[in-house]
Amino acid sequence: MKRLLFIFLLYWICSDINAQTPTQIINFPVTKYVFVGSLFMDNTSSANSQKIIVKIYGGGWFEDSNGETAYYISNREGLNVRQVSLGGSANSHLPIKAYQNGTNIDFYIVPNAAIYTSFAVSSFSYGYGLTPQYVTITEQTTTPEGNDITASASIKTVTSTDGNGNVGIGTTDPRGYKLAVNGKVRAQEIKVEASPWPDYVFAKDYELPTLQETEKHIKDKGHLPGIPSAAEVKANGVDLGEMNAKLLQKIEELTLHLIEMKKTSDLQNDKHTKEIEYLKSKIK
């Protein structure tokens, strides 16, 4: 009896470990659906706490996707998917899809059919009405049963990093920037290293634009010389360091003009004062 119990426990432990081991998926360019779990409770139910956590390791066939992507899925008050991708391109190679199959919502990872993919995946489901367990991962080439409701899901990227160390917050595409944020940023302090700083405006050989030249440019172009137009800013954004330098350059140019105007004004005032004093002396 003890031997049978020992064998059963050993089998159970091995089965549990095997269930936790990510399943390897190798896909040549063809449409494939990888099942990663189901939710069945009504999204309006106050008892609904059902969730699925899907973790994907790797992505493409080549070195560009050695990272990890996680999908956090729930369907309380609407179908919500939160995505976190680290160090690879699994987010573009391996999108998630949802199918309404009767009362179930079935979820599948659908590898990009145009490329070779090689990845491993694990999935864990839990919540009210579910037995907390690792999902048995299966794959098929036929379209899943039910209606594709992916478009109705709220799929939001929390964070994403690519293989070059670029970080996206709220976006999967940092577009080559070390940090790209899709939304507002609040910080106590931001330091921008900008070079060159426009002290060159005060150099003796600096060609200060005349006010007449600046006026003509404004009439012709609708913005200050050297400053991007509203259309350019809308299309490309603003480089904070570069823009601060440009604005300081304009302030320094304006300061030089004011200094010259003050000198001219002082000379004129002196001249007028002398003329008035001369006329006063004649009246006496």
Answer for the pair 113, 94: CB distance below 8 angstroms, yes or no: no
Q: How far apart are CA 192 and CA 86, in angstroms?
A: 26
Residues contacting residue 123 through CB under 8 Å, at least 6 positions apart = 36, 37, 52, 53, 54, 55, 134, 135, 137
**pLDDT at residue 88, as a whole number:** 64
pLDDT digits (tens, 9 = 90+) for 173-183: 888 889 999 99
DSSP state, residue 89: S
Closest CA to 192 of 238, 242, 236: 242
Q: What is the mean pLDDT of each run of 10 residues along the chain (284 residues)?
A: 48 45 82 94 89 87 71 92 77 83 94 83 93 94 95 88 84 86 91 86 93 94 93 90 92 93 86 80 74
Burial of 85 (0-12, 13-18, 19+ CB in 10 A): buried
Q: Which two tokens stand for residue 202?
A: 């005060």
Annotate 113-180 with three-state secondary structure.
CCCCEEEEEEEEEECCCCCCEECCCEEECCCCCCEECHHHCEEEEEEEECCCCCEEECCCCCCCCCEE
Answer for the pair 90, 102: CB distance below 8 angstroms, yes or no: no
**pLDDT at residue 271, as a whole number:** 83
**pLDDT at residue 16, as a whole number:** 45
Answer for the pair 65, 93: CB distance below 8 angstroms, yes or no: yes
3-state SS class at 209? coil
Q: Which amino acid is at 37?
A: G
Q: How far apart are CA 60 and CA 24, in angstroms?
A: 13
**pLDDT at residue 196, as a whole number:** 85
**pLDDT at residue 8, as a whole number:** 45
**pLDDT at residue 84, as a whole number:** 87
Answer for the pair 16, 121: CB distance below 8 angstroms, yes or no: no
**pLDDT at residue 112, as a whole number:** 83
Beta bridge partners of 76: none
The torsion angle over the Cα atoms of residues 38, 40, 42 and 45, rounded to 10 degrees, is -90
Q: Peptide bond preceding 228: is omega within 30 degrees of 0, i.e. cis?
A: no
How many CB atoms lie under 10 A from the CB of residue 189? 4
Answer for the pair 20, 134: CB distance below 8 angstroms, yes or no: yes
